A and B are shown apart, each in its own frame.
Chain A
Amino acid sequence: SYVLTQPPSVSVAPGKTARITCGGNNIGSKSVHWYQQKPGQAPVLVIYYDSDRPSGIPERFSGSNSGNTATLTISRVEAGDEADYYCQVWDSSSDHPGVVFGGGTKLTVL
Chain B
Amino acid sequence: QVQLQESGPGLVKPSDTLSLTCAVSGYSISSSNWWGWIRQPPGKGLEWIGYIYYSGSTYYNPSLKSRVTMSVDTSKNQFSLKLSSVTAVDTAVYYCAITKSGSYWNPVDYWGQGTLVTVSS
Contact = CB atoms under 8 A, between A and B. Distances in A.
Q: How large is the interface on A (under 10, 10 to 19, 20 to 34, 35 or more residues)?
A: 20 to 34
Contacts of A98: 48, 50-51, 59-62
Contacts of B106: 48
B93 to A, nearest CB: 9
B74 interface: no
Contacts, number: 61
A29 interface: no
A19 to B, nearest CB: 19
Given A45-B107, A45-B109, A101 B61 contact: no
Interface in A56-94: 84, 86, 88, 90, 92, 94
Given A42-B114, A43-B108, A45-B109, A103 B45 contact: yes
Ranked 5 nearest A-B pairs via Cβ: A90-B105, A33-B107, A99-B48, A42-B111, A96-B62
